[in-house]
Amino acid sequence: MYEIKKKIVRRQDAAKIFNITTVCFVVSAKYVLTNKSAFNGGKVGAIEIPYERSLDLDTEFDLKLANLLNK
């Protein structure tokens, strides 16, 4: 089992075990209004996205880099 040695505040500081990204959620309005969590029941699925196709835009610099790569 993984032992936490310090309080993790940012996801970037967490261990590289698995990174959940919010590429897409497909839900009905009723589901959103009646559930407390996106993972609280219903059919939950996942797909693996290659790292090189999953830029994480957390900062303005990240956005500038993505725009540069897109040119």
pLDDT of residue 48: 80
pLDDT of residue 64: 93
How many domains is the chain partitioned into structurally?
A: 1
Is 26 within a domain? Answer: yes
pLDDT of residue 61: 94
pTM, rounded to two decimals = 0.38
User: What sign results for the dihedral spanned by CA atoms 33, 38, 41, 43?
Assistant: positive
Domain, as residue range, for 34:
11-70
Is 31 within a domain? Answer: yes
pLDDT of residue 19: 66
**What is the distance between the alpha carbons of residues 39 and 52, in angstroms, rounded to a whole number?**
26
Is 53 within a domain? Answer: yes
Is 5 within a domain? Answer: no
pLDDT along the chain (71 residues), means of 10: 67 72 79 80 76 81 90 90
